[in-house]
Amino acid sequence: MKKIVICPNQLRDVDLELTEQLSALLRENGAEVKVVPFFDKDVGEDVVRAVEGDLDGADMIVCLGGDGTILHLSKPVARAGVPLLGINLGMTGFIAGLERDEWRETVRALNGDCTIEPRMMLDVEVERGGETVAEGLCLNDAVIERGGEEHIIYLTACGDGRKICSFAGDGIIFSTPTGSTGYSMSAGGPVVEPEAESLIMTPICAHTLSNQVFVVSPARVLTAEIGGSEVRTVGRLMIDGKNLLALRTGDLVRVKRSEQVFKLVRIKERKFYELVNRKLSMKV
């Protein structure tokens, strides 16, 4: 018997109607099912419950929601080493393996009729005055962005301690291939297929004649140091769209490939570039 943990976003699956239907279907097919609602529906998406204890012994997580819900779950799921199947109840749904009307296909995973697609993640830390003051794990991206009252932020980016570029602008995005179709692409970055396992560094509105994007080896350790003559808060660090820390001049943000791997369940074959064209309404 397989243990399946269903993590629904109650803001997407109102009254947990689809969750109940899926639970019944999986139980009929011999699975042990546990339902763990992820968000507090009365408060909103900023209040999430800790699910780590509920993942013990699980063979698979089924996430009902959009890509944002999957990004929330990616951290505890990766640390638990449990594969996740996403059923898209959101808008774009790049990461999810199934669409809303395909939810019955989930039973195929009970018989092993699926594949596991590993996705690289990033470890992020902030060094201030020689000490680590914040750490994070992300599946999509880590973003340094200027504060609301700041006109620009000054950054020097390095790879393995060697200078890559310096510029003034709105910030910089460190992205995985999974996150390449998100904020990085909107800022002029490339679309990178997941198998490439590259690190992507995309300046945001850089005040230079050439706004370069850098795609580097996943073995590199990338850093961005925040410049300025006066020590003050000039921006913030976002991890997968959530605020991690207010940043000051002199802070050093370090990004590297994580040992944690997000395991994505695929039931239906989805060719990457066909998915990109369909989801982004791009004509081939």
| Average pLDDT value for residue range 158-169 | 95
Tokens of 33: 């099912």
273 in Cβ contact with 196 (< 8 Å): no
pLDDT of residue 49: 61
257 in Cβ contact with 148 (< 8 Å): no
CATH 2.60.200.30 for domain 121-259, yes or no, is yes
Domain with CATH 3.40.50.10330 in the chain: 3-114+267-279
pLDDT digits (tens, 9 = 90+) for 103-149: 999 999 998 899 999 999 999 999 999 999 999 999 999 999 998 77
Cα-based torsion angle of the residue sequence 184, 185, 189, 194 in order, rounded to the nearest 10 degrees: 80
The H-or-E segment that residue 73 falls in is helix 67-80
Reported as a pLDDT band with limits 50, 70 and 90, residue 20 is very high
| 3-state secondary structure at position 219 | coil
Eight-state DSSP code of residue 265: E
CATH top class, domain 3-114+267-279: alpha beta
| Average pLDDT value for residue range 221-233 | 90
Reported as a pLDDT band with limits 50, 70 and 90, residue 284 is very low
Give yes or no: 67 in active site. Answer: yes
pLDDT of residue 283: 46
pTM, to two decimals:
0.90
d(CA 10, CA 49): 12
Among residues 67, 141, 170, 240, the one annotated as catalytic is 67
Confidence check: pLDDT of 161 > 80: yes
The H-or-E segment that residue 221 falls in is strand 221-226
Domain with CATH 2.60.200.30 in the chain: 121-259
